[in-house]
Amino acid sequence: MKVPTMLLAAAAIALLPATAAVAAPAAPAAGTATVVAKYTFDSAADTVSDASGRGLPLRLRAADGGTVKYVTKGSGRALAFPARCAENAAKCPRVLLEGGDDQDLDPGTKPFSYGLTLAATAQAVGSESNLLQKGVADAQGQWKLQIGGKKKLPSCVIAGAGKGAKRYMAKSSTGVLDNKWHTVTCQRTATQLIIWVDGQNRGAVAVPSSVSISNNLPLRVGAQNLNAKRTAFGGAIDDVTVSVG
């Protein structure tokens, strides 16, 4: 469902710090990687265009009257999701950003990276939040960035195609839920899946070079899907970036 422009508020919210806490690189050294999608949220609109010129736009889908806010971040803006509701709430205002099935976001066995910057508290995450993903497990394969677990740590997940395919998870050794801006990037190399937090390697797991990720599902930001109240993210994000190569 399309979110009317009139529901998009360009105002600051209490969730965010007045200034960014870090100025870390958005990803490890890019080398020969090609940015295939980048969303900066600097323009308030019903759809979010891709700043790289290669990816598909993201459209805002809402349920139960959910709205987003565009908030000041540095010289630009970031996007803040609705506050997370109780998981058993009958009415749960929420918003999901969804793109199309972009083949540039299907890396196969190639090295690639994906990530974003975020500002959030533990309350904005709840028991689990899906920040960024394409694909689902036990199907055509997926890549995902999430926050959850007992310690509410960010983690990167990839899985190959097929029911029962092994999932590989790189969990960060440090948290990010201090209401300050942090950059989290997942990097799949020829042999590893690495999670970078504010430019520092905070965890890795070995991944066979044969694991291939390619699916016909859309890029989703902010939740597993629009019906998944449990995985909805209630914080703010900026600079969603995907690179391949």
Q: Where are the domains of the chain?
A: 5-244
Q: Which residues of the chain have pLDDT under 70?
A: 1-31
Q: Are 46 and 61 in contact (CB under 8 A)?
A: no
What's residue 30's pLDDT? 52
Q: How many CB atoms lie within 10 A of CB 175?
A: 15
What's residue 26's pLDDT? 47
- Helices in the chain by DSSP H: which ranges? 122-125
User: How is 110-178 classified by DSSP, letter by letter?
Assistant: S-EEEEEEEE--HHHHTTEEEEEEEEETTTTEEEEEEEETTTTEEEEEEE-SSTTPPEEEEE-SS---S
Distances in Å between the Cα of 206 and the Cα atoms of 34, 158, 168, 170, 216 are: 23, 11, 8, 9, 26
Whole-model pTM?
Answer: 0.87
Q: Mind listing the pLDDT tens digit for each residue in 148-204?
A: 999 999 999 999 887 778 999 999 999 999 999 999 999 999 999 999 999 999 999
What's residue 29's pLDDT? 54
Distance from C-alpha of 112 to C-alpha of 209, rounded to nearest angstrom:
12
Q: Which CATH architecture has domain 5-244?
A: Sandwich (2.60)
Q: Which two tokens stand for residue 163?
A: 């029911």
* Residue count (the chain): 245
